Amino acid sequence: MEKNIIRDFTPADYQGLMNVWQLTNLGSAQRGDNLEIIEQSINMGGKMLVVESSNNEIIGTSWMTFDGRRIHLHHFGIHPSYQRKGIGLQLAKESLKFVKQKGYQVKLEVHKNNIAAIELYKNLGFNYLGDYDVYIIRDIGIIGG
């Protein structure tokens, strides 16, 4: 039986983390999520957890950022070869320990067709906020002024 470890992110994990994000469609250059941003978010009260397999491969990530009001859980994903083995549940529970320790609400976004993730989140106590769309400006160069 493979022994996975859930632990805090270190800069040495970055390439493995990016691999998981690419395989799970959680990351792209467009998003601007780089090592500097990750470290900055951790320094601002956030946390990044990784799941490391017994062969030292990063197979899961959970990024929790803090905006002073609530914790945002995002970039939560498990390498496709390791999905449906309970690793996501373990990572989610470990993530929620951090949330509880901080004492703030937690919010996440999930693609509406990701049924497995939605069920996981519901089973952990997350509630659907309502039918609304999310908009973002990724290219800040388009902002006038």
pLDDT of residue 29: 62
Short-list 76, 86, 85, 87, CA closest to 24: 76
Is residue 129 within 8 Å of residue 122, measured between CB atoms?
Answer: no
pLDDT digits (tens, 9 = 90+) for 86-125: 999 999 999 999 999 999 999 998 888 889 999 999 999 9
pLDDT of residue 24: 92
pLDDT digits (tens, 9 = 90+) for 29-65: 667 789 999 999 999 999 999 999 999 999 999 999 9
* 137 — pLDDT class (breaks 50, 70, 90): confident
Kind of pairing between the strands at 5-8 and 58-66:
unpaired
pLDDT of residue 37: 92
* 134 — pLDDT class (breaks 50, 70, 90): confident
Kind of pairing between the strands at 47-52 and 5-8:
antiparallel
Is residue 99 within 8 Å of residue 64, measured between CB atoms?
Answer: yes
Considering only the C-alpha atoms of the chain, give the largest distance between any 2 of them, rounded to a whole number of Å. Answer: 58
CATH of domain 5-142: 3.40.630.30
Residue-by-residue DSSP string for 41-61: HHHTT-EEEEEE-TTS-EEEE
What is the rounded CA–CA span in Å between residue 41 and residue 48?
Answer: 9
Handedness of CA 38, 88, 72, 131 (dihedral sign): positive
Q: With 0-12 CB in 10 A as exposed, 13-18 as middle and 19+ as buried, what is 60?
A: buried
What is the rounded CA–CA span in Å between residue 83 and residue 5?
Answer: 15
